[in-house]
Amino acid sequence: MNLRTQVHNVVKSFFLIVLLWVMPVFVPHIRAADGDEFVIARVQYRGGGDWYVSPTSLPNMIRYAREQVPLPLRDREDDVPLGSRDIHQYPMLFMTGHGNIAVNDTELDNLRTYLDNGGFLYVDDDYGFDEYVRPILMDIFPEEEFFELPPNHPVYHNVFAFPEGRPPKIHEHDGEPPQAFAVYRNGRMVLLYTYESNPSDGWAYDQHDNPEEIVQAALQFGVNMLVYVFTSGAQ
């Protein structure tokens, strides 16, 4: 049983009931069945891009999420090279940056195996990343559609409501509307990509000077994403 499935099994039976009654108010934390918390890993990639940008973003968002919903996730991240077998130890991977990314066939095959075995990848364009990373994301499973999520997708309303059916606009970037794209594999979402949005910049509220309402929107989108990934089986 893969790690994300373990998290899913632990949380789902409790959390879906909680959502019906108290969303989005605080509920007590629950742990994984063996008393452990699971860790989300940041992808360390080659090519010169700043994969390490805003290192507090993911831990901040997870801490906020744990205050809102019962997810057994540790509020730290591990840094893991894309080509390492260690990625298979994590239920979810996070990748961001501003510049170039280089991925070889071995790394791509490793990522495909990880996703086919139940893993999940979230990628956030931190401006200047899109032209390099989007072709790679579309090439992970070229036979599967890379498509924009519809406005009624659960990631926009499962805990916090985003009435426009889009991710929040945290940075202006090129002034285009924020978008979220996905890839599904065997009926399960394996990849989420946010473009012209940059939620992870809002998560790093101790590093960037964003208005409070922008920070809250970014954090709330992060909660929705985690809830979707870890309670729905990303169906």
CATH code, domain with 202: 3.40.50.12140
Residues 6+ apart with CB under 8 A from 231: 8, 11, 12, 15, 16
pLDDT-wise least confident of 7-11, 68-72, 107-111, 148-152: 7-11
pLDDT of residue 22: 33
DSSP string across 142-153:
TTS-EEEPPTT-
Each residue's pLDDT tens digit, 133-185 = 999 999 999 999 999 999 999 999 999 999 999 999 998 888 899 999 999 99
**Model-level pTM?**
0.86
Q: Count CB neighbours of 27 within 10 A.
A: 17
pLDDT of residue 206: 86
pLDDT of residue 18: 42
- Give percent above pLDDT 90 in the chain: 77
Each residue's pLDDT tens digit, 207-226 = 888 899 999 999 999 999 99
Predicted confidence (pLDDT) at residue 195 exceeds the cutoff of 50 = yes
Domain count, the chain: 1
**DSSP element (H, E) containing 166:** none
Return the amino acid letter for 220.
Answer: Q
| Length of the chain counted residue by residue | 235
Average pLDDT, the chain: 87
Each residue's pLDDT tens digit, 96-129 = 999 999 999 999 999 999 999 999 999 999 999 9
Distances (CA, A) of 188 to 84, 140, 184: 24, 15, 5
> Domain range for residue 130?
3-231
Angle between helices 105-116 and 130-140 (to 10 degrees): 60
pLDDT-wise least confident of 5-14, 183-192, 194-203, 216-225: 5-14
pLDDT of residue 231: 85
Predicted confidence (pLDDT) at residue 32 exceeds the cutoff of 80 = no
Tokens linked to 202: 């809002």
pLDDT of residue 174: 85
pLDDT of residue 6: 56
Residue 5: which pLDDT band, with cuts at 50, 70 and 90? low
Name the residue with tokens 């990625």. Answer: 87
